[in-house]
Structure 1
Amino acid sequence: MTDTLSRRSGGRAARRASRAAPLIDSLRPIRPGMSGGQYKPLSDADVMRIHQTALDALEQIGLADAPPSGVEYLTRAGAILGDDGRLRFPRALIEDTVARATKEITLFGRDPRHDMHLTGAKVHFGTAGAAVHMVDVDGRNYRECTVQDLHDAARIADVLDNIHFVQRPMVCRDIYDNFEMDMNTVYACCGGTTKHVGTSFTDPSYVKGALEMLHLIAGGEDKWRARPFVSNSNCFVVPPMKFATEACQVMEACIEGGMPVLLLSAGMAGATAPSTIAGAIVQATAECLAGLVYVNAVKPGHPAIFGTWPFGLDLRTGAMTGGSGEQALLSAGCAQMHKFYGVPGGAVGGITDAKLPDMQAGWEAMCSNVMSGLSGLNMVYEAAGMHASLLGFCHESLILSDDLIGHALRCVRGIEVDDETLGLEQIREVCLGGPGHYLGTGQTLSRMQSDYQYPSLGNRMSPKEWDENGKPDLLTETIARKQEILSERAAARFDPATDAAIRKAFNIHLPA
């Protein structure tokens, strides 16, 4: 009897180990770039009214404060500079720009396995933000972020299947020189992950240094230009309806250097954007349309992501509400506008106003991540790890978000209806002379991996089993997983010669 039980237990353990092993891509129930678009909070008539109102705003109100170079580019393209210093955009200019703008973009990773093809309603989730604090889960408090924290975040994201890109999620508060901070941000992110990286630059003159570093990492300028694996997150506007002068100059330098650009409009509904959801979407759309004209005036067809990022606001207190239902609607509505124009787009999802990874954080992050994914948003930024309305970043929440986004992606995949999935023959086989249940049937076994998403850390034990296993705690398990990841050498680390060349050219604050 003991031998029999041992053999059964060993067989069960082997089967469990086999099921826990990484799946080949063809069997994975979810993957990067799955198509959403099932959820449409705006009707076709709503979308058209938002579009027409955005055109009215650009033609009648326009944008102020373009740098002299921007004025030259935009007036040459057909914008009109008024006596009040505002640039106005005729409808025909907007329509012509949208018609010729790049409709498909590939954001490259250093490893081609992580390339992201942005088109249609293909969905990708990743980090972003500029948190100034790290969430210390053990001590239940906040401290300032360091370059080591940023590097560790990139290393963690590199091994998480459902984090598809790493846009800088925090600011290196331990580096006081802005040039060194920007260069170390590029180094820390690229040295931690081979996925696509996004970052911003404090000053236009810093772009040259960043490009020099990226050429070293890529193995030459020609290789960088063939596969640019870093994009510029560019807040080119200061809402409402003003260009950000220095950011526009940064954008021009990045375009010249072959770097893709995220056109980021981040108005606060009720403060720097209209308080209504529709009005906030109108303004963000108008501002990004102006940005699209700007990019294509500098270099026609340059890869630019339509980054409508309007944020919600608690009008009682003035606090940002990144974890609200209104935020989820803002991002989903923006995704519909991206589809209307046929351009690759991004917005926010997954932000939580909670201070720690708790139940509030879970419901807030899942709400906007699911709605953004279902709406077909190409790039869901800030989807993982962001707390306190973007003021705090948490490594443990980044890891937990891998499970959360996995379930969101399963919702994006939806329900396949065909002869096999309808299961008539399986029902017939089970009910007419069969065992009367579906456990162990051929279809159940063959589809248990391809149809179902299983959590890595989420606990599905029965209360009895949970008790017998020492009552495992989710955060304790997550901390252990973080320590396991960071105990291993980063797979994305640079080869010694490249690292030495970078350190010779720049003051790198991370230890070799």
Structure 2
Amino acid sequence: MQLLAECGIKILHHEVLNLVKRNGIKVVGETAYFSEEQLMAWVKKAPSGFTVYARNPQYDMFLGGDKVEFAPGYGAPSVIEENGQVRPALMRDYVNFIKLFHQSKYHNINGGVVVQPTDMVSIKSRPVMFYLSLSGSDKCLMAGTGELNEAQTILEMAALAFGGKEELIRKPRVMTIINMNSPLIIDTNMLENMMEYVKIGQPVVIASCTMAGSTGPVTLAGTIALSNAEILTGIAVAQMIREGSPVLYGNQTTTADMKTGSIAIGSPEGALCYTISARLAKAYGLPCRGGGALSDAKSLSVQSGYESMMTLMATAQARTNFIIHSAGILDSYNSMSYEKFIVDLEIIGMVKRFIQGIHISQDTLAVQVIKEVGIGGHFLGTEHTMENCRKEPFLPEISLRGRVMTDPNELLAEHIQNRVEKMLAAYEKPALEKETDQKLVDVLVAKGFDPRPYIQL
């Protein structure tokens, strides 16, 4: 609050700056200065939870309270192969990951910028990717933040597919990320995207990714204070644009590596920031985003395993409502990996089982069963075991247990590869009305975003 009152925050958008000024906020040049009372009056207008609706209602998501939802990765321009080789991400990879996330039992949302394809011009890619995710999956939808005309085209398609803008306001369908520019700037492009989404009631993640030691103070308390100021300002501005707009408090703050200056996403400092940010959001009565199965490792490795488990466990234990980068991310957000995607699904399953805890009842205490088995007996053949053996323990899909007669590393790699192939082979494209599909393609072609070369991928 002291930072916003005394240092202020730069808002690089004339219309938004005037809006802020009209609402009584002190503005000097492009810098706005909020008092605590002013800021919190607007933050309190944001809903404490909201539902995002899917084409298939079984995937509808409520975001708020202690509900935890997992979401795809976002923005990686590269793919790391099984052998550790790095190659540019292609549109084929984007489609493959859409299929994999559609097949995942842990994900109710799909799309966004799962990878950033390098075989298509970046500023023309977001609407095409949105079309491919909308037509290729009937889960809730993410959309990539791009140029203004990209955002307008994406929302035009969403309105066309889901009954018009008023229906979108009533039942939000599309989420995007609005990133703050640390320290203390909200740039023009992000504000343009925010205005487009917020005006028709689509949820936005107001996100800060301050790096302690480079874009924020090296001490975590200072860097969290800085990112908190940025996020709360973004939320307040969103409410000024349209009161009651669904927003997520999206702190993705971590530390910078002091040897290289690069971001360190798989660090204990990151896990601490994600945890504390969730507590802050809940204190403000806001749904939150943070964390993921994050790793700075350069390949699927021991490092990728222990970093991803730490960050995902910390985030899920904090009951973070929306966890982007939950499967497949490597190399400090730079790369996705098919193999790590499968490993991360296993981690998600383990973490979900852990936070589920232990249910206490007469049946689970099993006193009568213990008495019947008696001293020195065993429980493998009891009816109680048969009834609960698929419900109580976590059943791994790739992990090795028991005695292994072959090379365990080779066997694990085989399990992972088989799982990728089975998920892709089992994928069935959900039906989309042909007339609607053609209208979506026509809109894209008319606006210079031709999806036709990629439809059959």
- State the TM-score, normalized to the length of structure 1: 0.83
Q: Report if the CA contact (8 A) 1:308-1:334 is conserved.
A: yes
Give the CA RMSD over aligned residues: 2.1
Q: 1:482 pairs with 407, 420, 423, which one?
A: 420
- One-letter identity of the residue aligned with 2:154: A
Q: Report if the CA contact (8 A) 1:345-1:379 is conserved.
A: yes
Q: Structure 1 residue 73 and structure 2 residue 23: aligned?
A: no
Per-residue Cα deviation, 1:397-437 (whole angstroms, up to 9, x for no partner)? 212211110001111112233444333333333326xx722
Q: Report if the CA contact (8 A) 2:135-2:437 is conserved.
A: no
Per-residue Cα deviation, 1:41-76 (whole angstroms, up to 9, x for no partner)? xxxxxxxxxxxxxx2222222201331111122223
Q: Matched residues in 2 for 1:478 and 1:359: separation?
A: 15
Q: Structure 1 residue 458 and structure 2 residue 396: aligned?
A: no
Per-residue Cα deviation, 1:329-377 (whole angstroms, up to 9, x for no partner)? 1111111111111110001221111122222111111111011101111
Larger radius of gyration: 1
Per-residue Cα deviation, 1:109-165 (whole angstroms, up to 9, x for no partner)? 22111111112121112223211101122x531111122211210110111112332
Q: Structure 1 residue 188 and structure 2 residue 129: aligned?
A: no
**Shift in CA distance, 389/478, structure 1 to aligned 2, threshold 3 Å:** same
SS at 1:231 equivalent: strand
Per-residue Cα deviation, 1:478-499 (whole angstroms, up to 9, x for no partner)? 2233233333553335343333
Q: 2:50 pairs with 98, 105, 117, which one?
A: 105
**Residue of structure 2 in register with 1:303 after alignment:** 246
Q: Give the paired residue count.
A: 449
Q: Matched residues in 2 for 1:382 and 1:511: separation?
A: 25
Report the alpha carbon displacement of residue 272 of structure 1 after superposing the two structures with TM. Answer: 0.6
> Which ranges of structure 2 fall in alignment gaps of 5 or more residues?
445-449
Task: Describe how 1:299-448 pairs up with structure 2 within 5 A.
Answer: 299-431=242-374, 436-448=377-389
Worse-matched range after superposition: 447-456 or 214-223:
214-223
**Shift in CA distance, 200/234, structure 1 to aligned 2, threshold 3 Å:** farther
Q: Structure 1 residue 238 and structure 2 residue 184: aligned?
A: no
**Shift in CA distance, 289/452, structure 1 to aligned 2, threshold 3 Å:** same
Q: Report if the CA contact (8 A) 2:11-2:17 is conserved.
A: no
Per-residue Cα deviation, 1:12-61 (whole angstroms, up to 9, x for no partner)? xxxxxxxxxxxxxxxxxxxxxxxxxxxxxxxxxxxxxxxxxxx2222222
Q: 1:251 pairs with 174, 183, 194, which one?
A: 194
SS at 1:128 equivalent: coil
Report the alpha carbon displacement of residue 192 of structure 1 after superposing the two structures with TM. Answer: 2.8
Q: Report if the CA contact (8 A) 1:94-1:293 is conserved.
A: yes
Q: Matched residues in 1 for 2:60 and 2:385: separation?
A: 33
SS at 1:232 equivalent: strand
Report the alpha carbon displacement of residue 472 of structure 1 after superposing the two structures with TM. Answer: 5.9
Q: Report if the CA contact (8 A) 1:101-1:296 is conserved.
A: yes
Q: Matched residues in 2 for 1:177 and 1:292: separation?
A: 28
Per-residue Cα deviation, 1:282-316 (whole angstroms, up to 9, x for no partner)? 11111111011101101110101111111222112
**Shift in CA distance, 462/495, structure 1 to aligned 2, threshold 3 Å:** farther
Per-residue Cα deviation, 1:57-108 (whole angstroms, up to 9, x for no partner)? 22222201331111122223332113x5320111111222233221111122
Q: Report if the CA contact (8 A) 1:172-1:185 is conserved.
A: no
**Residue of structure 1 in register with 2:4 after alignment:** 58
Q: Matched residues in 1 for 2:136 and 2:347: separation?
A: 22
- One-letter identity of the residue aligned with 2:301: D
Q: Matched residues in 2 for 1:493 and 1:181: separation?
A: 23
- One-letter identity of the residue aligned with 1:500: Q
**Shift in CA distance, 156/489, structure 1 to aligned 2, threshold 3 Å:** closer
Q: Structure 1 residue 145 and structure 2 residue 89: aligned?
A: yes
Q: Report if the CA contact (8 A) 1:147-1:174 is conserved.
A: yes
Q: Report if the CA contact (8 A) 1:121-1:339 is conserved.
A: no
Q: Structure 1 residue 133 and structure 2 residue 71: aligned?
A: no
Q: Matched residues in 1 for 2:369 and 2:39: separation?
A: 55
Worse-matched range after superposition: 475-484 or 217-226:
217-226
